[in-house]
Amino acid sequence: MSAETDMEACRAAIRTGSLSFHAASKLLPVYVRDPALVLYAFCRVADDAVDEGQDARGAVLHLQDRLDRAYAGRPMDAPIDRAFARMIERHQMPRALPDALLEGLAWDAEGRRFDTLSGVLEYSARVAAVVGAMMCVLMGVRDRHRLARACDLGLAMQLTNIARDVGEDARRGRIYLPLDWFREAGIDPAAFVRAPKALPEIRAMTDRLLREADRLYMRSEPGISALPVTCRPGIFAARTIYGGIGGVVRAQGCDSITQRAVTSRGRKLGWLATSGLRAGASVLLPQMATLYARPQAEVSFLVQAAARESTRFSRSDTLITALARLRAQDLAARGLDQSRA
């Protein structure tokens, strides 16, 4: 199959699987847009396999094999995998970055919950901030300050996703809000999952999460203004669209149990226009000192990896442990004796 045919498969996956990114990507220059579509298509397919498939553990272990083969230059015979292998070779994508995504999806497959906001941010670093770091690599941005702000944006976008999907996640047996917030509110998480209701306390938690997202969106903006000029409209668009989703959640009284925040095509077009104006204004405005703020502790490892401060590849202990647990659970589920496998 040709590279262009593989590329079209990636475009199709994004058109149907990630409408917000598809809209924002239209404002990216071609040299970034095409590899970004490959990246998002690979991440989307992997995420959907874990979230919506019948075998989440098997999907994560399969993703590990897909990554191993792509980085060995022998991708699986599938359009998105072939395009992904070309992308990582052309842009010298550090292996630690997609491995971070692998770890986040492993946590999902385990049904992991998080006691504190920091724990939620650690998860968000792996499933979302890592995409911001990889986008920087595609743009040729490798300095720590801009990488840190890209990770802020990824964290903010994931917190917005969590706030939007509280009810949907609960109906799947999942909770991504910090468990200590439940304890503070006197709500039993297990009871909430059994019967999700838009309680005032749940709405307050949702609003609290959105306020944290707002803080991170603000931290991210100096980094967007410091990106290559042609990349700024697309990234401002992503920031504006996801921030707008949070605004819709708020307008619905932070009730994401009985309804889901939906944004119209017309509203997205308005946000795209606003993003172009903000990108233009960024050329004239002075750089904000907050560009140089330290990375959030939860994303420091991503900044280090993307900045190529370490060229030695080594899987993290937490990823190795998570994959070992999943493999043991997978063997047990198949009725195999692990000692003989």
pLDDT in the model for residue 336: 58
Q: How big is the chain by its Cα radius of gyration, in Å?
A: 20
Give alpha helix (H) positions in 252-316.
Answer: 265-284, 300-306
CA-to-CA separations, 4 to 19, 26, 70, 245, in angstroms, rounded? 22, 18, 18, 33
142 φ/ψ angles, rounded to the nearest 5 degrees: -130, 5
Q: Would the pLDDT of 144 be above 70?
A: yes
pLDDT in the model for residue 191: 96
Q: Under a CB-based contact definition with an 8 Å cutoff, are residues 259 and 79 in contact?
A: no
Distance (Å, whole) CA 58 – CA 63: 9
pLDDT in the model for residue 155: 98
pLDDT in the model for residue 337: 47
C-alpha torsion sign, points 86, 21, 10, 99? positive
Q: Which two tokens stand for residue 188?
A: 């039993």
Distance (Å, whole) CA 152 – CA 141: 15
For residue range 29-76, list pLDDT tens digits in order: 999 999 999 998 998 888 888 877 778 889 899 999 999 999 999 999
**pTM for this model (two decimals):** 0.90
Give alpha helix (H) positions in the chain.
Answer: 3-17, 19-25, 30-52, 56-71, 79-91, 96-110, 117-124, 130-139, 144-164, 166-171, 179-185, 189-194, 200-225, 232-251, 265-284, 300-306, 317-333
323 φ/ψ angles, rounded to the nearest 5 degrees: -65, -35
Mean of per-residue pLDDT scores for the chain: 90
For residue range 146-198, list pLDDT tens digits in order: 999 999 999 999 999 999 999 999 999 999 999 999 999 999 999 999 999 99
Distance (Å, whole) CA 275 – CA 244: 12
What is the span of the domain harbouring residue 68? 3-340
The closest of 33, 225, 282 to 139, measured between CA atoms, is 33
Distance (Å, whole) CA 162 – CA 120: 10
Counted residue by residue, the chain has a size of 341
For residue range 244-263, list pLDDT tens digits in order: 999 999 999 999 999 999 88
Q: Under a CB-based contact definition with an 8 Å cutoff, are residues 58 and 330 in contact?
A: yes
Average pLDDT over residues 286-290: 88
pLDDT in the model for residue 323: 80
Query: At 111, is the secondary structure helix, strand, or coil?
Result: coil
Q: Write down the residue that tokens 């992503």 correspond to.
A: 238
The CATH number linked to 10 is 1.10.600.10
Distance (Å, whole) CA 176 – CA 198: 16
Burial of 135-170, coded b for 16+ CB within 10 Å and e otherwise, reads bbbbbebbebbbbbbbbbbbbbbbbbbbbbbbbebb
C-alpha torsion sign, points 285, 290, 295, 299? negative
For residue range 67-100, list pLDDT tens digits in order: 999 999 999 999 999 999 999 999 999 999 999 9
Q: What's the total number of domains in the chain?
A: 1
